Amino acid sequence: MIRRDRLLKQKEMTTGKDKPIVFTRKIQLLLQAATKEEWAEGYRQLQEWQQIVTRAANMIVSHHYVQENLREMIYLADGVKVRLADIHKDADGILTTSKLNTTYQLLSGKLKGELPMSIIGALNSQVVAVFNKEKKDYAEGKRSLRVYRQGQPIPVVQSAISKLEAVDKDEYEFQLFGFRFRTHFGRDASGNRQLFQQLANGEQRMRDSFLEIGKNKLFLLAVFQRPGVTGALSPDRRVEAWLSLDVPIIAWCGDKELRIGDKAEYLYRRVAIQEAMHRTQAALRYNKGGKGRAKKMRALQRFRALEKHYVQTRLHQYSARLIEFCRQEEAGVLVLREQTEKETQAKEDAFVMRNWGYYGLKAKIDYKAAKYGITVIVG
């Protein structure tokens, strides 16, 4: 599946200190139409494309998995060639084109006229790239074959967005797949409006992105890139940090120590939300019937979303304060001490595993550190 968790929540990644930082912003879009009927028809068309994208992604991964495992099909006749190469370039090959192009030709034949060709090309490249990255794990039994489920975002190549222009109230409109969209930045705490202003002025460039179809809402998962931050921090200076239950992060550099958060601030508040959620869950049995399950579960889902939002907010705040401490001390190395023992404790203790966010906190520290060229070492 095209992992949306890699695209959401403003996650910023980099593969090295000197390489550019790639980051994704989730921006709500409004489909422009002259009448409600035109809007409904356009939205229905986008939903159909989303369903086709899901079906096409599963076709791609299935065909490439079969190609990789032809040698395992011992029931085939002797002498069957199994060299996955273009027969026009390799006499022992069995394909009539390149491996990447096999599924593109397949989708072109089946879906031409149902889906824009730019979507087919982008989807094929992305799914094959993910498959090639994971196929070794498939062979070794470390993971099962990916299944692409409903709700997959639609790939958007950068050249598909055209006629970008500013409109009133600092919003922007652009053309995509024959539809006209308008941005809706809202409070814009992440500075998305400024990014689009730079994009319109030619100062910023958008990479291949995604269009997400929600329930009566559309979102552009816009992928941008900026140069990495280098040269400001010293690789010889380091900050050491300890992730614990009583204090989420204890960091020190030389004789300076920083304590970030406390147990009451994080854990007690989360447990309070859980207890309220359990009380609500127990009371659901007394709800009056006849209005549908979704309505009965609405209050419970609200508490679940509240807990998730609270945890993510706290972990973002804690990790940001730790990285800011590293920058203040001009430290290019961050050492997380004795994390192996903590991971073992988290797995053995159900309460810790349920309520403490070791892995989420470490992940957020990793990508925030990469943003500023800080090397993270797990000790």
Q: In whole angstroms, what is the distance from residue 348 CA to residue 96 CA?
A: 53
Give bridge partners of residue 112 from the DSSP assignment. 115
Check pLDDT > 60 for residue 146. Answer: yes
Give bridge partners of residue 13 from the DSSP assignment. 22
Q: What is the pLDDT of residue 352?
A: 53
- Asked if residues 257 and 263 have their Cβ atoms less than 8 Å apart, the reply is no
Candidate from 23-27, 114-118, 232-236, 360-364 with smallest mean pLDDT: 232-236
Check pLDDT > 80 for residue 100. Answer: no
- Over residues 42-65, the mean pLDDT reads 90
Q: In whole angstroms, what is the distance from residue 50 CA to residue 41 CA?
A: 14
- Asked if residues 83 and 92 have their Cβ atoms less than 8 Å apart, the reply is yes
Instruction: Please provide the average confidence, as pLDDT, over all residues in the chain.
Output: 79
| Residue entry with tokens 């930082």 | 21
Give 369: exposed, middle or buried? Use CB within 10 Å, 0-12, 13-18, 19+: buried
Q: What is the pLDDT of residue 15?
A: 38
**282, 287, 303, 308 from 295: Cα distances, Å:** 16, 10, 14, 20
Q: In whole angstroms, what is the distance from residue 273 CA to residue 260 CA?
A: 22
217: how many CB neighbours lie within 10 A of its CB? 13
357 token code pair:
């966010």
Q: What is the pLDDT of residue 13?
A: 40
* DSSP strand pairing (179-184 vs 21-32): antiparallel
Q: What is the pLDDT of residue 1?
A: 43
Q: In whole angstroms, what is the distance from residue 176 CA to residue 2 CA?
A: 21
Q: What is the pLDDT of residue 167?
A: 85
Predicted confidence band of residue 93 (pLDDT cuts 50, 70, 90): low
What does residue 109 show for φ and ψ, rounded to 5 degrees? -70, -35
What 3-state DSSP class applies to 173? strand
Q: What is the pLDDT of residue 91?
A: 55
Q: What is the pLDDT of residue 8?
A: 42
Put simply, whether the predicted model's pTM sits higher than 0.85 gets the answer no
Check residue 19 and report its DSSP letter. S
3-state secondary structure 226-259: ECCCCCCCEEEEEEEEEECCCCCEEEEECCEEEE
Q: What is the pLDDT of residue 2?
A: 45
